[in-house]
Structure 1
């Protein structure tokens, strides 16, 4: 059997390139240090009887071309034209249309969801995304290697390619969450090394990341359960186990998120308790110092009253006598506080 690997790239039309250059010139004058633009890329992989088409930031012409080639519904073509806000799953006569949003943190500080649109047919899989994906790039290299070496068999239909892709995406999320876990452990060590105040900001940043994870993954369970029903209808009951496995992968990610959230809550509570204790100790020390200074100040104030008879004042060494008197009062109060274990 002859194995063909097609790896094609389509770029913008000349008119669109001119618009891009004009946009870059304008951007240069607005921000002269950075001129960046992401060109759309269409990549097609073929292995045995299966086809995987991956579109990154596609143009309208590319979407229409793919729609004509694979007989896509006009509603799907409209959905592919721009990113959507929520995940969804739709079953059509010859394919399933699925939208999922995945969080990404480590290399994307803007915390923008990564949307991937999947069109799963029996012999083809189409993925559409508006941004780079290291996971999809990694899987595409594996796909090319398997096709080139004529090794490996993803399965009898394209649903198995989809299963492998989403499994790897969830696996990448577990790595992200493992990185968050390591950050929490580092924060834990620093909390008990006396850096409670600095860790308030660090805990807030990790909390923001975990909330971002929960928000991005909040609708995955409902969408995957709906996809399980649609997948059985289109791809057969033999694919049911893999559909259920995907849901299990999601539950593992969800459990990792909840575990990190619980760990974060415990660290935050501990950090707040240590901060409160340290602040209380500071307030107690300041209060005791004020209480020690009050009697001494009162005694000195009495000797400042302008009266006819003022004992001690005017005698030889009167300054040193008053100094020793005030020192004895302060030392006596300090000894008392130490005896009561208030200091």
Structure 2
């Protein structure tokens, strides 16, 4: 647990809160049992609830793990009063950590952000949401790489790359989309808890959320278009392979029939197999059949 106190405003940050700390918060703020029960276990739903003396808010923010090549949403809980903000999270959120440490180490940042609870909260949310944009750069890079490789005959390899990008986009959307409804509710409740001047700040945060969402929408449309193109190319390649196999089957089947016919004992009775030119006759027949079929397939533009 870390705490910053400045200008009669307190910001307390809990990392992996335990039952004892949760009990202390329950006693300090008079938390209802329903809120207390949600502090320690992870919640999957973003929400905001208003109580007599505080707001309880749950939001999720995307955190990218480059080693695992995945983006996962991390929960961040808020308890908000007029003179105190409590943040609770079970994993490291880089943007939150950077903002907290910056305020803790630099008086100018404390003076800038610790004007009141509303200004601190909304500045924090704005930075958390804006931090998603740099994390989207790695997705954009992957999309550009896929665009460059799509006509190089690597359709099978690109299937996995496209799946990874789509998974990242889905995880981002899972974090970003629910934020909007929470922020819209916060805009209505902010004047009471955060002061009338917080209204324009809430709108800025909503604008940041919309910017991130629009980028995600563009990426979603792009990767879906690339997936469709890649699937079409892969289908064409498979169709081409099947066409070649079909042509080979058409050519080899008559040759097998001809070879089988001349292998029958009935030709021994008429002395055909004893003719020294029999081999060349059979070879000529088979070659002629092959040439005729190739010419036929060529005219039909099978290859």
Change in 2 beyond 3 A, CA 1:158/1:331: same
11, 28, 31: which is aligned to 1:73? 31
**Does the Cα contact within 8 Å between 2:46 and 2:182 map onto a contact in 1?**
yes
Q: How far has the Cα of 1:111 moved from its partner?
A: 5.7
| CA deviation profile, 1:43-84 (whole Å, cap 9, x unmatched) | 011233322110001222323334545x34334434323322
Corresponding residue of 1:326:
286
Corresponding residue of 2:99:
139
**Does the Cα contact within 8 Å between 1:106 and 1:176 map onto a contact in 2?**
no
**Does the Cα contact within 8 Å between 1:303 and 1:310 map onto a contact in 2?**
no
Corresponding residue of 1:120:
80
254, 270, 277: which is aligned to 2:213? 254
Corresponding residue of 1:341:
301
Corresponding residue of 1:219:
178
* Distance (whole Å) between structure 1 residues aligned to residue 111 and residue 138 of structure 2: 32
Q: How far has the Cα of 1:228 moved from its partner?
A: 1.0
**Which of structures 1 and 2 has the larger relative contact order (alpha carbons within 8 angstroms, sep 6+)?**
2
* Distance (whole Å) between structure 1 residues aligned to residue 216 and residue 276 of structure 2: 78
**Does the Cα contact within 8 Å between 1:52 and 1:126 map onto a contact in 2?**
yes
Q: How far has the Cα of 1:321 moved from its partner?
A: 3.1
- Does the alignment pair 1:229 with 2:188? yes
Which aligned segments of 4 or more residues in structure 1 are displaced greater than 6 angstroms? none
Please give the TM-score of this superposition, normalised by the length of structure 2: 0.89
Correspondence list, 1:11-50, <5 A? 42-50=1-9
Correspondence list, 1:236-251, <5 A? 236-251=195-210
**Does the Cα contact within 8 Å between 2:7 and 2:114 map onto a contact in 1?**
no
| CA deviation profile, 1:217-270 (whole Å, cap 9, x unmatched) | 342222111111111222222110111111111112222222221112111110
- Give structure 2 stretches of 5+ with no counterpart: none
* Distance (whole Å) between structure 2 residues aligned to residue 310 and residue 156 of structure 1: 112
* Distance (whole Å) between structure 2 residues aligned to residue 312 and residue 164 of structure 1: 98
Q: How far has the Cα of 1:285 moved from its partner?
A: 1.0
Corresponding residue of 1:165:
124
Corresponding residue of 1:184:
143
Q: How far has the Cα of 1:112 moved from its partner?
A: 4.7
Secondary structure at the residue paired with 2:274? coil
* Distance (whole Å) between structure 1 residues aligned to residue 30 and residue 103 of structure 2: 24
* Distance (whole Å) between structure 2 residues aligned to residue 175 and residue 72 of structure 1: 39
* Distance (whole Å) between structure 2 residues aligned to residue 151 and residue 174 of structure 1: 25
**Does the Cα contact within 8 Å between 2:126 and 2:208 map onto a contact in 1?**
yes
- Give structure 1 stretches of 5+ with no counterpart: 1-41
* Distance (whole Å) between structure 2 residues aligned to residue 201 and residue 290 of structure 1: 33
Secondary structure at the residue paired with 1:166? helix
| CA deviation profile, 1:292-329 (whole Å, cap 9, x unmatched) | 22332232222223226557522114223322331232
Q: How far has the Cα of 1:94 moved from its partner?
A: 3.3
| CA deviation profile, 1:133-181 (whole Å, cap 9, x unmatched) | 211111012212332x577411531222211221122122222222212
What is the RMSD of the two structures over their aligned residues, measured on CA atoms? Answer: 2.4
Change in 2 beyond 3 A, CA 1:310/1:194: farther
Secondary structure at the residue paired with 2:145? helix
**Does the Cα contact within 8 Å between 2:57 and 2:79 map onto a contact in 1?**
yes
* Distance (whole Å) between structure 1 residues aligned to residue 43 and residue 220 of structure 2: 28
* Distance (whole Å) between structure 2 residues aligned to residue 183 and residue 72 of structure 1: 48
* Distance (whole Å) between structure 1 residues aligned to residue 133 and residue 102 of structure 2: 20
Moved more, 302-311 or 257-266: 302-311
